[in-house]
Amino acid sequence: MNRIVETDAPEAFAQELVQVSNILPRRIEANPDNVDKGLAKLVLTLIELIRKLMEKQAMRRVENRSLTDEEIERVGETLMKLEQKMGELKQVFGLKDEDLNLHLGPLGDLM
């Protein structure tokens, strides 16, 4: 949900800034003890997004019959291995499926 604010309305622009600033954290948690988990969460979230996109593309290609049986088998095996590896990494870093998401403020969640 993108909002357009007229530049000739400074009050509206200021109000918009206040609304956006309420979404952002007031303080960044810079803790050396959890930097690994935070980085892993970000990286795994991006990988999960890419995996979901790959899965949708593969399903679309299967439905359009643009893949051979061998390619379907290879894509399926690759996606299963990726999902297994993601599970292992989530376990190592103590993350759950619901942790792998990004809140985009007024736009909602990424996934």
Q: What is the pLDDT of residues 67-96, one digit of tens each?
A: 899 999 999 999 999 999 999 999 998 988
Confidence category of residue 38, pLDDT binned at 50, 70, 90: confident
Q: How many residues does the chain have?
A: 111
**The residue to which tokens 């809140």 are assigned:** 103
What pTM was estimated for this model as a whole?
0.62
Distance (Å, whole) CA 89 – CA 41: 10
CB 104 within 8 A of CB 110: yes
Flag whether pLDDT at 5 surpasses 50.
Answer: no
Q: Note the pLDDT of residue 36.
A: 82
Burial of 85 (0-12, 13-18, 19+ CB in 10 A): exposed
